[in-house]
Structure 1
């Protein structure tokens, strides 16, 4: 079914599942446009976690009593559900972490410290989030590896000719963001992964801004590793996902050690448990896994194609409305299939932090700063930008409220 033939979302009905959206400050109802930082959580997810705590709370994989068995089944089924959601082969390929950042660090430490050395290249993009850029930068310093960056062109897209120049036989890892959290650019991650594999390199895709907003099949992308976070996809904070191809995860040494991830321990040595548990030491995020399972169910009931279509429509509308203002500088591609559901911009003569404060006076919640992409902002020649990001419960009318509030900023800084 084409995007044009998809039934639009019943946004009014969806909003009823988010009581927080009814909150008012100074008599004004909140307009929440900070979804790239974290989305709101529907009643279905809150209820699932509450039910777990009320009825099944126990530690997993440690007891044979009824509550522990129930908790263990729920935790394992969450792995199964997430694997199905992203097209993984099974739970063995789904590791639960705290967030995307920890997933990046897990691979950087478990693989990077052991495999990288002088003469090896790690290829990133100029639009990488600090979770990727800082992690690989520091691992490269420890190992003597070199970090290269694929250029971002004047339209906010990757220069793929430059990518083909950089990715070569010395490349060991290509790590790229699927959707930029600043530019909104949807990157050709399958092409990047193919380039990596052509030269015997591995690929890591940061899907924090992709999995929440569009259908993602890790098998089709053929990424070796793929990461995302629960709190950006209507799920709880405190849980992230690392997907890895099973044969690669089997080869890796654990990043963290402790109980729950071992097979046998003696005073002299230890061996590790099965996947994915060998990467999940200690008491894991059990309630959060239950919540993530519920979030996946909730999103699939809506339909990820419809989620994507709604976000693209809002992003295109916001881009066009802001562009029509005349004194707004926009970053990234124009609305369309190669832009995710966010728009970053600056209002002429007004610092992003000042603008965000004024928008907050109108109870419009957006994000200001460098969005954990300082080098990208340096390239853009601006210290910060204002970012409006959208989700399934947002409307055109809320974007209109943001646009109208710009007049107050103009008046104050005239």
Structure 2
């Protein structure tokens, strides 16, 4: 299978030191000034406004910045930021890396990240699902990692099959090696238009967006870990790489142990995909997995922090698939759980997805709900037959929790609010 072997170290980049043309340099400088003004005004990191200013002055800037890098693009509904971080850590075995590590994953944020590339050899870039095809056209990536597709931000994102079709059309003719999750039918269908695909058996816990065939609309049959459509014969491709317990199986059948500090099955799957990506760039699986084992948290996710005299573990869950994976992290003793949901533009304003989450998995845990849409969440928990307490903010929520380390689960802007609260 093309691209499925573990290559040796690739040659050093010949172009990392090349300079930008004058217009691009001016755009980068103007973008940095705009970002600095935004930071001083207390409006965040400034990466988005800086990128917008730079692109307004030079619409081709993203392509010019990426021209001097070997680029990896990472896209999915869940796991983009973590997988980007793991790939970046693995590729640092071969050279310097520039990455949008904090998750600004639309063209403006990506442009800001690459503007600080310095002498980096690699660009490891997280990309919003809607922008994957256009960013790929601009940056001519060497590799693209596709992890999963599921329902998310229903007010702004396309239906999942439409996103898969957009990927499929955008990836047709792309020269990049595509590293794709063979267990997600939507991803497999999207990636199958590519010339060079490395399939990874990374698993798929959430299946409710892939019961109909993306190719013909027929009913998908899903016996065990397999899947196929009996009507058009579209079926799970044979993987070259696989996650097997605490090991990653490479194309030669060798099993490489992983000892991740990041919790959960989903992060093991992210690491398996990351190892397959790293191999495209000549990083041996053992080296890649050893480097990934040093990552303990990603942009605040999984951090254990002290707040109001209590220990909290901060967990991000943005959609039904993400909540399902997150709930598996708190199985066992009935630890207190704080749930927080907002519905701002960055979260998606439609909260109907709350009814797709199986909150019954929290039975037996003391639950406190907070956040902008805490009453929506309260209604959902009440229908699920769960007992809970409603709190105005994090401080009240923590005070309402019984003893024990608290699991604090929040969607995107609620998670950022938690991080601000615990920092004081």
Normalised by the length of structure 1, the TM-score is: 0.32
| Higher RCO structure (Cα 8 Å, ≥6 apart) | 1
**Structure with the bigger percentage of helix:** 1
What is the TM-score when the length of structure 2 is the normalising length? Answer: 0.31
